[in-house]
Amino acid sequence: MDSYATQMMVVAPDRALCDRIASFWQQGPIALDCEPSLQHVLGQFEKKTYDVLLVTSNVFKDNEIEGIEFLEVLTARCSVTQIIFLSEPQHIEMAFSAIQAGGYQYAKFPISDTELKLLIETAITNRPEAGRNLLLKETVVDRFPNIVGQSRCMLDVFKQIEQAAVTDIPILITGETGTGKDLVANAIHNKSKRQDGVFIPVHIGSLPSELVGSELFGHEKGAFTGALRQQKGKFEQGDGGTVFLDEIGTIDEKMQISLLRLLEQKRFHRLGGRALIDVDVRFVVATNENLFEKVEAGLFREDLYYRLDVFRIALPPLRDREGDLKVLVDLFVDTYAEEFQKRIRRIDHDFIQLLEAYAWPGNIRELKHIVQRAVLVCEKGSLLPEHLPPRFQKIEEMKHRIYFDVGTPLDDVEHEMILRTLDLTQNNRKEAAKLLGISRRSLYNKLKKYNIT
């Protein structure tokens, strides 16, 4: 093993196993922490990152489901940690569940000192070079500049960004308009070995189709009417760096062929030129369309699709990012309060409730503009529902105008409440269940009961 001080945690009912492991490396290089149960383990991971976690089946025996869920959370949020599961003979099925949940390796008791030491050394040797601890308190919200989120789906995105950054393969970013695909592309570049090179974004959808070729590949003087001088294209300018092609689904068939050839050969001609130009460019592309549907419709080349869809990052819409809206609002309020030299002392609870009840078709971009407007028009230091656009006032009116006559059957009340809440949330059933104070499963049962589609 190298001289790196490996951080290791042992979770076992007593200290005997921990002391035994400590005796293997009395002079280092392992820093060892011990916990008697799972109760405080995630709290420890919020403070520092462990290279190896060794767990015994005895700490799972009273609540196996909770233990397996713990491993799933740890695997998703701290992929850099190698998990070793030591099982009593009667708990062998539990060991298989632990491996499926993300465990690196398992072994059965009794285990010799030689085998135990070798198991730990192997885990240390094979620990991932890439990966982050997303549980760390100081990094869980802002893992990357300009990207914030602490929802589970965004933690998965952060993990994928880290994985994408250590490779040089093409990356396809998908997601609705306004979900931040350009920010993710930039984050991949800044974490990659090309971070010292240029990052060149090209929004293809905003370019006239006849100019896309010249913009990407450049042109020679006289290549077409108006080509008064030689011009380097984005690929040539991006040599050694990353080129981000947004709205990739809008390029025509001719450009698709040229792009496929560049991906395969790493060289191209400028428009009107004969000389081959070699380039070393990393491709990151994005789309808010279903590219495979375009392939099936004959509008996008299948061979190009498979060259681009090597590693996909699907960005979740804002409505699915549970818990992130308030974090984003706080960020945007701070940003625009400073820009407009406003002092925002509080954000009214009803202001946040209205934002949470909205479906956000424009996603984060729409939220950003809404908060920008609210801060601009706010005069007294408190963000209130009245600072939101008119469409939010309609939600507010709906929210406060539900009346029932005394004696209305409870089933009728419940039926109407569900319908009105679905209207309020624009049929977002997750948000509707949240506002009604019931689980999504309960809501679906009630929808079935009242034949609401």
Write down the pLDDT at residue 402.
64
Do residues 201 and 291 share a domain? yes
Q: What is the CATH number of the domain that holds 232?
A: 3.40.50.300
Task: Give yes or no: residues 117 and 189 share one domain.
Answer: no
Cα 383 from chain centre: 29
pLDDT range class, residue 27, cuts 50, 70, 90: low
Q: Which of 314, 344, 375 is a domain's end point? A: 314
Question: How far apart are alpha carbons 287 and 436 in whole angstroms?
Answer: 35
Share of residues in the chain with pLDDT > 70 (%): 93
Counting the structural domains of the chain, the total is 4
Identify the CATH number of the domain in which residue 53 sits: 3.40.50.2300
Q: Is the pLDDT of residue 425 over 80?
A: no
Which residues have C-beta within 8 Å of that of residue 312, sequence separation ≥ 6?
171, 172, 173, 174
User: What's the pLDDT at 141?
Assistant: 44
Is 339 within a domain? yes
Report the residue count for the chain. 453
The mean-pLDDT minimum among 25-34, 82-91, 245-254 falls in 25-34
- The mean per-residue pLDDT over the stretch 20-24 comes to 89
In this structure, are 159 and 303 located in the same domain? yes
With b meaning 16 or more CB within 10 Å and e meaning fewer, what string describes 106-123?
bbeeeeeeeebbebbbeb
Reported confidence tier of residue 200, pLDDT bands at 50, 70, 90: very high
pLDDT of amino acid 195: 94
Q: Is the pLDDT of residue 403 over 80?
A: no
Rounded to whole angstroms, the Cα distance separating 32 from 21 reads: 9
| Residue 329 shares a structural domain with residue 293 | no
**What is the domain-level CATH number for residue 332?**
1.10.8.60
Domain that holds residue 429: 410-449
Q: Is residue 140 part of a domain?
A: no
Same domain, 255 and 309: yes
Confidence of residue 178 (pLDDT cuts 50, 70, 90): very high
Least confident of 357-361, 373-377, 438-442: 438-442
Q: Are residues 350 and 415 in the same domain?
A: no
One domain for residues 271 and 325: no
Q: 347-365, pLDDT tens digit by residue?
A: 887 888 889 888 899 999 9
Does residue 77 belong to any structural domain of this protein? yes
- 307 plus 327 within the same structural domain: no
Q: What is the mean pLDDT of the chain?
A: 87
Q: Are residues 182 and 273 in the same domain?
A: yes
Do both 384 and 425 map to the same domain? Answer: no
CATH number of the domain enclosing 442: 1.10.10.60
**Residue 134 covered by a domain:** no
The answer to whether position 405 is within a domain reads: no
Question: 292 and 191 share a domain?
Answer: yes
Beginning with the edge strand found earlier in the chain, give each strand of the sheet holding 52-56 in spatial order.
Answer: 30-35, 6-11, 52-56, 82-87, 105-108
Stated pTM of the model = 0.59
**Inside any domain, residue 159:** yes
Same domain membership, residue 294 and residue 178: yes
CA proximity to 34, closest of 52, 214, 198, 24: 52
